[in-house]
Amino acid sequence: MEPMQFGTNVRVLRQQLGMTQRQLAQQTGAHLTERDIYRIETGRRGLLAPRQLERLLGALGKDLETFFQPRAVTEGASLATGVRYGSRSSHRRSGDGQTDSDLQAALERLRVARSASETVCHQASDLLNRTRQLTAMWN
C-alpha cells in the first residue's frame, strides 16, 4: 500500500470515529504526535516503526490483518483506490487492477514471510546463545 493510500485510509477511519488528528495522536500514547498524524494522512510520512503502526491501528480499532484487508476501512466507504465496497462480488478490481483475491493472496504471502522471518530470528537467537555458552566455556 502506497503512503498516500495508507494515509487516506487512516483519515477515513479517523473521521468515521469522529476524532481529530490531535485526539488520534493522544490515543497512540507518546508514539505519534499530531504532526505525525497529519504527515501520515497526507502521504508525507513513510514507514512507521512496528510499535507505532500497532498503536496507530489500535487507536483506530483495527489490527494489521484487518486494516490491510480490502474491506477493512468500512463497508460502503470509498477507499483511496477508488473502489466502493458494498454487497457486490468480492472479485472487483481496485484502482491498480488487483482483485480482492489477489490482495488476499498477497496477505497470505506476507503471513508466510513473517513466519519465516520469526523462525530465522529464533534460530539466530539460539545460535547467539550457543556461541555465548561456548565462549564462557573457553574463558
Domain assignment present for 115: no
What digits encode the pLDDT tens for the residues 73-100?
444 444 443 333 333 334 444 455 556 7
Task: Look at the pTM and tell me if it is higher than 0.95.
Answer: no
Percent of the chain scoring above 90 in pLDDT = 24
In a domain, 116, yes or no: no
| Grid coordinates belonging to 53 | 503502526
Domains in the chain, number: 1
C-alpha cell at 62: 483495527
Q: For cell 502521504, name the residue.
A: 43
- Which range marks the domain in which residue 81 is found? 3-98
**For residue 65, what is the domain's CATH number?**
1.10.260.40
Rounded to the nearest 10 degrees, the angle between the axes of helix 3-16 and helix 34-41 is 120
Q: Which stretch of DSSP H or E encloses residue 28?
A: none
Q: Has residue 30 been placed in a domain? A: yes
20 domain residue, yes or no = yes
